[in-house]
Amino acid sequence: MWGLKAYLKPYWKFVLLGPLFMMMEVFFDLMQPRLAAHIVNFGVVERDFGVIQQTGITMAVVTLLSLITGVGCNLFASRASQNFGADIREALFAKIQTFSFEDIDRFKSGSLITRMTGDVLQVQNLVQMALQGLVRAPSLLIGSVVMALLMNVRLGLILLGTLLVLVAVLVVLIRFSTPLFTSVQAKLDSVNIRMQENLAGIRVVKAFVRARYETERFREVNRDYTDISIKAARFIALNTPIATFIMNVCMVAILLYGGHLVWDSSVRVGDLVAFVNYVVQVLSSLLMVSGLLMNVSQANVSARRIREVLETQPHIASASLAAAPGRSAERVEFRDVSFSYSGSSDVREQALRGIQLEAGRGETVAIIGATGSGKSTLVQLIPRLYDVTSGSIRIDGRDIRDIPLPELRGQVGMILQESILFSGTIRDNIAFGRSDATQEEIEEAAAIAQAHDFIVSLPDGYDTKLGQRGVNLSGGQKQRLSIARALLVKPPILVMDDCMSALDLATEGRLRTALQPLMKDSITFLIAQRISSVIHAQNILVLDEGAIVGSGTHDELMRTCAVYQDIYRSQYGKQGVAYVSQQSVSTYEG
């Protein structure tokens, strides 16, 4: 927890005022038993109603002051804790934005969500309790013990002995419960990860009638979480009955011994009543302290998990910001690039190996290959979503690792394989990369992406509200909006990662025709599954198991690349086989 203290500094006034008001409340509470003893000793025993009346009024005033200071403490503690939690959530969110894909893969998105919600709530509640309970409980405990000792040392020693026993019990309980709290949060991560995975793939689950199977999978992680939570709760549940039992034994001993002292006239009745009140206050404050210590132990686990995120150095570090030379990328080069998701140099673990590639402005590099051949991985290296394991990627001769990330990614327009849209209007989604874009520019980008016609046919046009991830649109409509979003930026490097798979051939053809003027001013990387989508590219790369096994135009690859010929056969059937055979004969005769 101490490592998060910086997030409390802006609210130091509330942090000071909260405990100050709480200590004032404790002072007024400690006065009550004394005043009650005065009523008994000098009002009830002496039968003096005036003393009873006057002391009663004083007690009422003290009670009112206790209420005012208690409300003030709660107000200041709430302001400090809520702002503290909000700032940590913002810091976590901002930190996650700096993470590379590798960092997010390591933490897992479900765990990050748990840390931003449940863990932050734990530390936020601890601050609230610290400024209230952790001030009130120890102050009331110490104050009650001091007042009890001042009233009668012999009775006070019984109370002190009882407290030592209770402290020992609490230390044991906290020592064994802390590892359990760590396990509880880890199991909660698993529940959230499974839930998030299921919600993201709910359509697949329903399509394959796997609801029962997914329910069983969720039941497993949920049961693990429940079991460890019950185990941790047992330790917490032991706290109250053990503390109550020990304090009740103490109460019995004090009443027996105190009654004997009253009988011997060594202690007045009112003082014994006040002493018992102080013992009750000690009991309540001790129960509060023990509960708070359990919460502290639990919150410390959450604080460590939060700090783990905040203190993580992103795997991909941005170069120092410098004056950008402009946004006119003329050439992209891959120089002997290899990449492994694990960072290993072992060839068997590499998703890409030995990639050599050059592309200039106005050139389209099409990439084709079997599923898992590394096509998407290759283009994700350009904006440094992942970093190369070996080799280098250069833009206009500059290693991309020497280019500040905002400048680098500002030059790359990514149209991803999965169409990701955000809740908001269609206009907001298209202008996501350029919030200052005019309506005319937005409509122009939508028209090129073949999206304008269906947008204006909607009741609210460009102001149509989209649900989460654009659920109220078809797959093809979402793809066209994603394309429009990238085109609006007019990037010098355009990456199209199989972004037309949901389009019919006629729409795809119109889109390609509309893209021609833009592609003349850009370096375009086009990933596609269909040969018809790449057939006109100046340079087609054929990937197989992470390596380039062929490059050239369509006609050249049909003559020289067996992998490309296999892809052609699989897509064009007998016609493809005849064409390949013809090309092979022509090559042989030549």
Mean pLDDT score across all residues of the chain: 80
Mark whether 497 and 547 lie in a shared domain: yes
Task: Give the mean model confidence (pLDDT) for residues 94-116.
Answer: 81
Q: Which domain holds residue 551?
A: 331-589
Mark whether 301 and 372 lie in a shared domain: no
Q: Is 241 among the domain residues?
A: yes
Q: Is 326 among the domain residues?
A: no
Task: Give the mean model confidence (pLDDT) for residues 411-423.
Answer: 81
Mark whether 295 and 241 lie in a shared domain: yes
Mark whether 191 and 336 lie in a shared domain: no
494: part of which helix (H) or strand (E)? strand 493-497
Q: Judging by beta carbons within 10 Å of its beta carbon (0-12, 13-18, 19+), is residue 165 exposed, middle or buried?
A: middle
Domain of 577, CATH number, reads 3.40.50.300
Q: Is 210 among the domain residues?
A: yes
Mark whether 135 and 182 lie in a shared domain: yes
When pLDDT is cut at 50, 70 and 90, the band that residue 583 belongs to is: very low
When pLDDT is cut at 50, 70 and 90, the band that residue 327 belongs to is: low
pLDDT at position 585:
41
- CA 477, 478, 483, 488 torsion-angle sign: positive
For the stretch 433-481, pLDDT in tens is 888 888 888 888 889 888 888 888 888 888 888 876 667 788 788 888 8
User: 213-222, 223-232, 344-353: which has the minimum mean pLDDT?
Assistant: 344-353
β pairing state of 390-395 and 331-339: antiparallel
Task: Determine the Cα–Cα distance for residues 452 and 203; give it in Å rounded to an integer.
Answer: 28
Mark whether 25 and 108 lie in a shared domain: yes
Q: Is 203 among the domain residues?
A: yes
User: 151-160, 320-329, 376-385, 548-557: which has the minimum mean pLDDT?
Assistant: 320-329
Mark whether 58 and 131 lie in a shared domain: yes
Q: Is 65 among the domain residues?
A: yes
| DSSP secondary structure string for all residues of 382-395 | TTTSS--SEEEEEE
The one-letter amino acid at 48: D
Percent of the chain at pLDDT > 90 equals 2
The conformation of residue 412, written as its DSSP 8-state character, comes to E
Domain limit, last residue, from 310, 343, 375: 310
Mark whether 188 and 261 lie in a shared domain: yes
Task: Determine the Cα–Cα distance for residues 475 and 479; give it in Å rounded to an integer.
Answer: 6
Token pair for 63: 């009670």
Q: Is 317 among the domain residues?
A: no
For the stretch 257-286, pLDDT in tens is 778 777 777 777 777 777 777 777 777 777
CB-facing half-sphere around the CA of 233: CA atoms within 13 A: 6
Answer yes or no: is pLDDT of 192 > 70. yes
Task: Determine the Cα–Cα distance for residues 158 and 165; give it in Å rounded to an integer.
Answer: 11
Mark whether 306 and 336 lie in a shared domain: no
Task: Determine the Cα–Cα distance for residues 274 and 272; give it in Å rounded to an integer.
Answer: 5
Answer yes or no: is pLDDT of 113 > 60. yes
Query: pTM surpassing 0.75?
Result: no
Mark whether 258 and 379 lie in a shared domain: no
For the stretch 142-164, pLDDT in tens is 877 887 777 778 777 887 888 78
Domain of 134, CATH number, reads 1.20.1560.10
pLDDT at position 203:
62
Domain limit, last residue, from 262, 281, 310: 310
pLDDT at position 70:
84
Q: How many separate domains does the chain show?
A: 2
User: What would the 3-class secondary structure string for 270-303 be?
Assistant: HHHHHHHHHHHHHHHHHHHHHHHHHHHHHHHHHH
Which of 132-146, 369-383, 566-580 ranks highest by mean pLDDT?
Answer: 369-383
8 or 204, which is more confident: 8
Mark whether 343 and 283 lie in a shared domain: no
152 or 13, which is more confident: 13
Q: Judging by beta carbons within 10 Å of its beta carbon (0-12, 13-18, 19+), is residue 104 exposed, middle or buried?
A: middle
Task: Give the mean model confidence (pLDDT) for residues 407-432.
Answer: 84
For the stretch 348-387, pLDDT in tens is 778 898 889 888 888 889 999 888 888 888 988 998 888 8
360: part of which helix (H) or strand (E)? strand 352-360
pLDDT at position 402:
87
Token pair for 76: 């200041």
CA 440 to chain CA centroid, Å, is: 37
Mark whether 520 and 387 lie in a shared domain: yes
The conformation of residue 321, written as its DSSP 8-state character, comes to P
Q: Is 325 among the domain residues?
A: no
Q: Is 7 among the domain residues?
A: yes
When pLDDT is cut at 50, 70 and 90, the band that residue 23 belongs to is: confident
How many of the other CB atoms lie within 10 Å of CB of 444?
Answer: 16
